[in-house]
Structure 1
Amino acid sequence: MAKSILSLRGVTKSIDTGTHRVQILRGIELDIQEGEFVAIMGASGSGKSTLLGLLAGLDAPTTGTIHLDGEEISHLGEDALADLRGRKIGFVFQSYQLIPTLTAEENVLLPAELAGDVSSGAMARARQLLDTVGLEDRREHYPVQLSGGEQQRVALARAFMRQPPLLLADEPTGNLDSVNGRQVLDLLLSMNRQEGATLVLVTHDRDLATYATRIITLKDGAVVSDERKDAA
């Protein structure tokens, strides 16, 4: 039986505007199992991006607990959270988030270098990942020399660099046209299967979400639907 890689109990998130308190998430209870592909959906303002930030340890819940791979992360300090993110989580952002002064290869290598790994093995893995996303001839190109689709493929390779057990993606095809978006989605799914990571993806695109094995829908900060596809 698969174990939970993410477990949320009674998670809320609110912010104080100075005049009143805004409730963003309301009593979220979730378990996400190893190997699942989960799409989180909801209208703008439903809380899906806030939830993704909590799963990533980029923010802390107001109340409740979050366990990542068996470790309670809700109240960790920033240094401990940064270490955990480096070891456990890969990110794919809508806006790519590549460093403009680094080449494609250097951008992919960055997570390993931040972890102190400058070995030949790390270099070999970065090149293998760029080969996998079809950019073997673009290794020395800078982001400004790459198309949007190519930049997102570099970001995808970077996300898998340290073989994280959890991959978080925030609207990964949102800035791409339909052709490039489909190519990036196909690569994401293919690489995720090969690497064996759990994939949690935030999207407003119902067509993209149909590829998930589970769709969680938020409304007004609460889970209103949790649909699982039948096993084949």
Structure 2
Amino acid sequence: MSVAVLRPWASALPGLGPDLASALRLRALALSLEYRYDDALIDVEEALRICRRARTVRRTTTEVQFATALSLRANLLRCVSREQEAVDDAREALALCRGSLSRAPHRFGPILLSSLDELARSLDRTGEAEQALPFGEELVDILRRLAPRRPSYERYLAGALHQLGGYLSDAGDLSDALRIANESLQLYLRLDRAHPESFALQVELATHNRDLFLKRLNQRS
């Protein structure tokens, strides 16, 4: 249901709060795809306020919406160069997911992945690549376990490997960066063969990273 439909009802029926938060978050996501980050932040911040007020209403659903909105706000803040605030949001989302994962793994698992990704990316953007590494590595480890059982996760694994190579390079470990970048490239090439032209840009970017890390490693020798 849309924000306009839900908003008047949610003020009278607190149980609809998580649904309004979800609608606001989805609208924020759509706005972000149009690069309207300021408008998207307004919506996602309202979603967070609703979830904070409704913590005892439909508890698991509310917490899922809260963690998802935090992860989305981290992404938006990173897009507008507010990386340290993004780090704080991603840390909070990750802590909530870790605390709730055993209670509802299927609901909090996907948000755990996005929170790990956002935290690693934001830390790297603040110049703290070494702090980003454990979160990037944890994300890759989880996706390595998921991908054999769920082939749709292979694209996420390839992307996580691509990012991890960048963190390793930024941290000065070019040998591991090259190894991980090559693994990402090989996976993207396989995906591109299975889905012609769907991964052409990713193959190009992965090739660039692989060649860049190789060049830097040779210059260091």
Higher relative contact order (CA 8 A, sep 6+): 1
Could you say which TM-score interval applies, normalised by the shorter chain? under 0.3
Under a length normalisation based on structure 1, what TM-score does the superposition of the two structures give?
A: 0.27
- Report which of the two structures shows the higher radius of gyration computed on alpha carbons: 2
Higher share in strand: 1
Higher share in helix: 2
Under a length normalisation based on structure 2, what TM-score does the superposition of the two structures give?
A: 0.27
